[in-house]
Amino acid sequence: MLEWSYGEDTLDEAKRRIAQTVAAAALGVALALACLPLGVFEKLACAVLDTGCPAIQEPPGRLPQVTRLTPVEVAQSGAYVALGDSYSSGEGVYDLDDQPVNDGADRCHRATGSYVPLVAKAYRFGGGTAFFACSGATTTDLLSGQHGRQPQVSRVSPATSLVTLSIGGNDAGFTKVLTGCIVKLPGSSACVEQEAAVNRRIEDLRSSVLRVLRELRVRAPGARIIVLGYPRPFPENPVRTVDNLSPQDQRWLNSMTRRLNDTVGTVAAGFDRMLAAFEAPGSVEYVDGYDAFTGHEVGRPEPYLNGLHVDMGDLQVNARSYHPTGAGYRRFADLVTRQIAKGPGRPMHNVRLTTP
């Protein structure tokens, strides 16, 4: 009499094979009765019985490689679009220009001496540069249009990779405020008496600047948006009267500039925190220009801001008054180019896909 001997593992394997054989027979009968199409048996056998399974094959090719872009790569990947008000258009040097920058420049006072052409020369933007900042622009003008032209924000598209922007001064009514400060009787407090109205207009900027940023974000989801703040117009501690502005007036105007910058900067920072929290591409970056002209304020020997200029022929204040000089715009260009290189101070979530 023959006797079969199994180890414990061999016996378990034999039992498993017997069970599979019985199951296969039952499955075959069931499939025959069900009249299922050819090929189904093999698939079910693979799933249920772990038999008849084809060899796993590698998919053709390899998956795309994901590379996170640096801040500079993001900025240069598409078009640079420059928007904003007179501090971006080049109002302070417009009447020194030999030729207009582009169509509509005469109405918007866009000048080659602005910081925008300097930034365009410092970096090579894959989609070129579009310059549409316009003197006198408010947040509403950016969204709705100005001088019969299409809105500035409409110049931004998914192909835009960098937007620079200065905005808020006209919403706050700074030109009117400054005029009220200058055109007053000596010793009058008419300048600082405007504070309540100015504060109210600056507070309203929170919602209007947010609307502008949202619109830019919708139009260019992956772009870096750099918002440039305004410089302090007078020395931190003025000691003499300038353009009929007493030291008290100058300190007050400085403080209003500080409040304006803080308001716009807070909105921009909050927007960028939201983008970072969702790991979204693009950024909103605020560059505080408040101290950028330190040592070169109005009243200094080499100012970066024009002081009061009056056209004696028609006794009107020239628009370049209290706008950057050529040196001032070069300083702005330095701030912007440095920010492009620096980035938002957090990881960018823009990526490039490359197929091996």
- DSSP, collapsed to helix, strand or coil, labels residue 340 as helix
Closest CA to 334 of 282, 296, 284, 277: 296
202/177 Cα distance (integer angstroms): 13
Pick the catalytic residue: 86, 135, 283, 321?
Answer: 86
323 is catalytic: yes
45/8 Cα distance (integer angstroms): 27
Other C-beta atoms closer than 10 Å to the C-beta of 242 total 21
Q: CB of 224 within 8 A of CB of 75?
A: yes
CA 14-18-21 angle, to 5 degrees, is 140
What pairing do the DSSP bridges indicate for beta strands 160-165 and 224-228? parallel
The tokens of 343 are what?
Answer: 């980035």
> Among the residues of 71-221, which ranges form H helices?
71-76, 86-89, 105-108, 115-122, 139-144, 174-182, 195-219
The tokens of 6 are what?
Answer: 């199994």
322/177 Cα distance (integer angstroms): 12
Other C-beta atoms closer than 10 Å to the C-beta of 39 total 8
Q: How far is CA 248 from the centre of its chain?
A: 36
Pick the catalytic residue: 88, 207, 323, 349?
Answer: 323
Could you say which DSSP state residue 91 is in? G
296 is catalytic: no
CA atoms within 13 A on the CB side of 89: 28
Closest CA to 233 of 188, 179, 292, 283: 292
Closest CA to 294 of 283, 286, 302: 302
Q: What is the DSSP string of 132-197?
A: ---TT--HHHHHH-STTPPPGGGG--TTEEEEEE--STTTTTHHHHHHHHHSS-TT--TTGGGHHH
Which residues carry out catalysis? 86, 323
